[in-house]
Amino acid sequence: MHVHVVGICGTFMGSLALLARELGHRVSGSDANVYPPMSTQLAEAGIALSEGFAAANLTPRPDLVVIGNALSRGNPEVEAVLDEGLPYVSGPQWLAEQVLPGRPVIAIAGTHGKTTTASLTAWLLEAAGLQPGFLIGGVPRNFGVSARLGGAGAPFVVEADEYDTAFFDKRSKFVHYRPLIAVLANLEFDHADIFPDLAAIERQFHHLVRTVPGRGQLLVADDQPALERVLARGCWTPVLRLGREQASDWRLELERDDASRFRVIQRQADGGEEDAVVDWALNGEYNARNALAALAAAHAFGVDLARGCAALARFENPRRRQEVRGEIAHIQVIDDFAHHPTAIAATLGGCVPRPPRGGCWR
């Protein structure tokens, strides 16, 4: 089958194109802004790419067109798809129909930290030999690609975005995924271009909650009033709490102020506790919280706490997430994707100067 992806250089759509290629489809695509790392990934996968939107990009005629949510009526390529009667779907719908059936899905949702938490979760499953599939809105350096199918029937980790699906489907993307495990990491007002207020986003998060089966799990941060309001609308799935509260099912305690070393305490069914220490290359409490959520998600698939914490020592942050690009005159240049005020503040707060491990300040 020839699958043509309109808006292919977005992180989600480019990742989807990689999955389509891995499934054996002929894949082409178009976008107005073609740039690394996605353009590099696509080229390495042998995916034909047209720069700019035009009806001519639909020749030869594709069997299916996947349309990204950045495209709207009036776009010349979208208009040609409609005028010529080509079959089309949204990216989330294609993923739900072609990749996710028969797979236990782990959906990572929240205003901040989705890419890192999804990367952490996929890495923990990989380190345990579970061969997960994943679709992540960035490039996890432990894998080198933003998406892969993984083993047949293996867990599939998806970054679950609350932004709308397509010009013809205004629901949040994540309602398509029907996860077994859903991480609700945080919730603040965002995407003011499509949501009038926080209550509107809470409504979408509750739509996600409604899709998680009773045999699944909701992994919910313990310090988020907006998430409490989401659950108060109705919840039919066991909830495990994550965070710093003493009563949380999964709790972290910092052993270094910069969160480069912290203890994870897991509450047992019999009321006891199990704990293990994470000593890793990342810092910032927000990253420790991301790791806590990933450990809880991986545990649902049999990754025990000690093994998971040990694997985190080998985790590498995704590209453009506190990525050190170089050093000039003892000044580090760091590339980070954060754009929400809370995320920016958390990133800056995590940039605490400290000497290298086993070394000292120059």
Sequential pLDDT tens for the chain (362 residues)? 999 999 999 989 999 999 999 999 999 999 998 777 778 889 889 998 999 999 999 999 999 999 999 999 999 999 999 999 999 999 999 999 999 999 999 999 999 999 999 999 999 999 999 999 999 988 899 999 999 999 999 999 999 999 999 999 999 999 999 999 999 999 999 879 989 999 999 999 999 999 999 999 999 999 999 999 999 999 999 999 999 999 999 999 999 999 999 999 999 989 899 999 999 999 999 999 999 999 999 999 999 999 999 999 999 997 455 556 677 876 777 666 655 465 455 455 555 554 444 433 33
| CATH superfamily label, 2-91 | NAD(P)-binding Rossmann-like Domain (3.40.50.720)
Domain spans, the chain: 2-91, 100-312
Closest CA to 66 of 16, 1, 23: 16
Output the six-digit token pair for 188.
Answer: 């603040």
The strand pairing partners of 248, in sequence order, are none
Reduce the DSSP state of residue 71 to 3 states and report it: coil
Distances (CA, A) of 43 to 1, 14, 20, 78: 19, 11, 14, 24
CA 227 – CA 325 distance, rounded (Å): 35
> Which fold would CATH assign to domain 100-312?
UDP-N-acetylmuramoyl-L-alanine:D-glutamate ligase (3.40.1190)
Q: Are both 2-91 and 100-312 of the same fold?
A: no
Helix H or strand E segment including 292: helix 285-299
Element housing 17 (H / E): helix 11-22
Note the pTM of the prediction, 2 decimals.
0.88
